[in-house]
Structure 1
């Protein structure tokens, strides 16, 4: 087939070449067993109707499904959930709001089709390369779909993102690392890889092993697996999967496997008491036994770590108490608290997003009475990198005495961001300081208010907004 016919692939069409991945490895793959899971995934409005008629968990009424169909919600992102998670949703308003589609999702579809301009960092189909970490899209499905999903463009095939071929990715990593070692590129050596999608844990054990083994053979030292399956369907982490992990470790004993799990609310791993809290036992809150077993089994392997990250979403986890309990209880379970994120500026984000400063305030309040090992960061995953929101500084009316635009800016107050991770090593740790905007839903809401911009590559560029305010003030004073 001529190369020209391969240019415009749609998501999910990369050639798998399983035979090549598994060549001369029959003895290895013979040790990987599969499980036939009965997730009972309910997908799209008509299947929900049949599910309700069959006596399923009444997360939707027929009238609500009629409203969703009339609003065209499935054109944005079809509803989808496992039977297990629907039962959780029946007992928890927070879980219900996480997966329950709403007609208002389609009322304002403003936002980015490709959040944070990810395709700009895609040198190979199915790969994002922004830091020393690369991200691979490995599957275009999850067991359930969060309504705020910032990979919805990939799940629905609305952008030109494709699934990754491990052979193309491994070749790219080897080539890039050779250039990095020879000093031919400013980017550091690729040390880590994140398997994403969709959810890699919906893949079979053998297909997941294809990616993990290929990355390890290419020299990757840390393999992250981004998954919400431990909340959506914890039975997936069964003995066959654990045996595959042990086999991988046997072959690659120096590679760390880190599960980037996605718990959004305590109701996903604690037992709700029906009154907005959680049932208590002799030693604390009662834990969901299936989730507890999955976490314990993973943690029993010294080459495995678990890190939690989730956005703060309106009507789901916009509670300092819920976030505080999450961080405390996850740490007790052995899951580290990594990031809490601002909801990305995806198409339709206005139906889910809290204002940035509101989300920061909730997260900041949640840090009270947490120990140093329980705490987390609140960040925005922007085109410029991970921007941690460091502080919101209240303004003071007396600052107007300075006069001019600068006095007005200081009177309004300041929002301070730190470039926690940047594609540019010389900007790592720099700041972005802006006048407050309590209505801003994303960094775009601050772009016309910036006083100091550490994203710029020169001192003149960084200080230019501030100098433009100081100069009129000085002239007025003279």
Structure 2
């Protein structure tokens, strides 16, 4: 099979417009794993509105692609590279080297036995060398209180052969994903055109390795804000054995205004997509993230939004009913009901989680399940 080649020089790619080349050069250092001939060739460059093009040339820091918990103003880091986001869930940040920088976080998790779920985040989980990933998984599996390990990856979209053709990686996953304690892999496929033959082959290889696969997708204006497109995505994911875990509202941050949609419109798009799909796609949730936790948007009807916590900082439960004015794009714009407002503030209180003692700037690429 042809090897996927990383692009370091765009001069020979005459089909790429010059303005796009300039943008790609800007993101080349930070997001080099995206820039390969496989993904570039998925794009119809003659179409200025091509959704894959828009995903590639937009810097990820202005796309909150993974529905992070809004941690602005909160101290979440308990050890370098380790954040406890909920009482029993920790994020462990890795880099491409995935070496000594994870040791403080691993020590913290080992010492705090109430943590039973670890999400490996930071760099793409499949960017570090397989040997490094093996060492990390081995350390976590030695901690008997850690029952769930979750990896997150874009490689099934950007470079699926990194998975399907690396037998050492697949053997590693097979060794540590046991019938009693499976490894979960959260994929981030945003458009059905990313589900190529190579991507399906990568999913099949992961299935054979014994991991559990799901998918999280942000609703992005100009990319996938079409119920027909989303229904096709749901059908293809289900057909490939990947559970559509959730769609989520793209958080508004500086520079991403063109991708943001009103909450009511997002809800209507998702509901129509679910109506059109079959199989496991009908169970997909629409999620919204807030500094108080993660919620499901159950319905938006007659100016009211009905939401339910399924993860919160203070283990709060229950349903919130909030006014939803036309054009509202985020949760804080819905806090018009006094009782609901107080509940949100209570859940977002800044009491430390575990032994919170340091400041951390949370990446917009953190994926919180």
Could you say whether these structures have the same fold, taking a TM-score greater than 0.5 normalized by the shorter chain as the test?
Answer: yes
Question: Is 1:266 matched up with 2:266?
Answer: no
Higher helix share: 1
Alpha-carbon distance between aligned partners in 2 of 1:333 and 1:122, rounded to the nearest angstrom: 37
Find the partner of 1:138 among 81, 90, 94. 94
Structure 1: stretches of 5+ with no match in the other structure? 1-36, 106-112, 142-161, 178-188, 270-287, 395-412, 459-478
Pick closer, same or farther for the CA change 1:366–1:163 going to 2, 3 Å: farther
1:236-273 residue CA offsets vs partner (Å, 9 max, x unmatched): 11222112223335xx664311110111010011xxxx
Alpha-carbon distance between aligned partners in 1 of 2:179 and 2:323, rounded to the nearest angstrom: 50
Alpha-carbon distance between aligned partners in 2 of 1:418 and 1:114, rounded to the nearest angstrom: 15
Partner of 2:172: 244
What SS does the corresponding residue of 2:83 show, helix, strand or coil?
strand
Partner of 2:287: 379
What SS does the corresponding residue of 1:89 show, helix, strand or coil?
coil
CA contact (8 A) 2:69 2:290 kept: no
Alpha-carbon distance between aligned partners in 1 of 2:115 and 2:102, rounded to the nearest angstrom: 15
Pick closer, same or farther for the CA change 1:244–1:386 going to 2, 3 Å: same
Find the partner of 1:61 among 13, 17, 27. 17
What SS does the corresponding residue of 1:120 show, helix, strand or coil?
coil
Question: Is 1:324 matched up with 2:231?
Answer: yes
Mapping 1:40-439, distance limit 5 Å: 40-42=5-7, 50-51=9-10, 53-54=11-12, 56=13, 58=15, 60-65=16-21, 81-90=35-44, 93-101=50-58, 115-117=70-72, 120-131=75-86, 132-139=88-95, 165-177=101-113, 189-219=114-144, 220-237=146-163, 238=165, 239-249=167-177, 254-269=180-195, 288-301=196-209, 303-371=210-278, 373-374=280-281, 375-394=283-302, 413-425=303-315, 427-428=316-317, 430-439=318-327
CA contact (8 A) 2:298 2:308 kept: yes
1:109-128 residue CA offsets vs partner (Å, 9 max, x unmatched): xxxx9943385222112122
Alpha-carbon distance between aligned partners in 2 of 1:319 and 1:290, rounded to the nearest angstrom: 25
TM-score by length of 2: 0.79
Alpha-carbon distance between aligned partners in 2 of 1:135 and 1:253, rounded to the nearest angstrom: 24
Q: Give the superposed CA RMSD.
A: 3.2
Partner of 2:364: none
Give 1:290 shift: 1.1
Alpha-carbon distance between aligned partners in 2 of 1:299 and 1:340, rounded to the nearest angstrom: 22
Count of residues in correspondence between the two structures: 329
Give 1:435 shift: 1.6
CA contact (8 A) 1:230 1:294 kept: yes
What SS does the corresponding residue of 2:43 show, helix, strand or coil?
helix
Structure 2: stretches of 5+ with no match in the other structure? 63-67, 348-369
Give 1:313 shift: 0.5
CA contact (8 A) 1:126 1:137 kept: yes
Give 1:438 shift: 2.5
TM-score by length of 1: 0.62
1:58-105 residue CA offsets vs partner (Å, 9 max, x unmatched): 3x4124556x59xx9769x87852221110123782211111239xx7
Alpha-carbon distance between aligned partners in 1 of 2:108 and 2:309, rounded to the nearest angstrom: 27
CA contact (8 A) 2:299 2:305 kept: yes
Pick closer, same or farther for the CA change 1:390–1:267 going to 2, 3 Å: same
Structure number, greater radius of gyration: 1
What SS does the corresponding residue of 1:201 show, helix, strand or coil?
coil
Pick closer, same or farther for the CA change 1:354–1:289 going to 2, 3 Å: same
CA contact (8 A) 1:114 1:346 kept: no
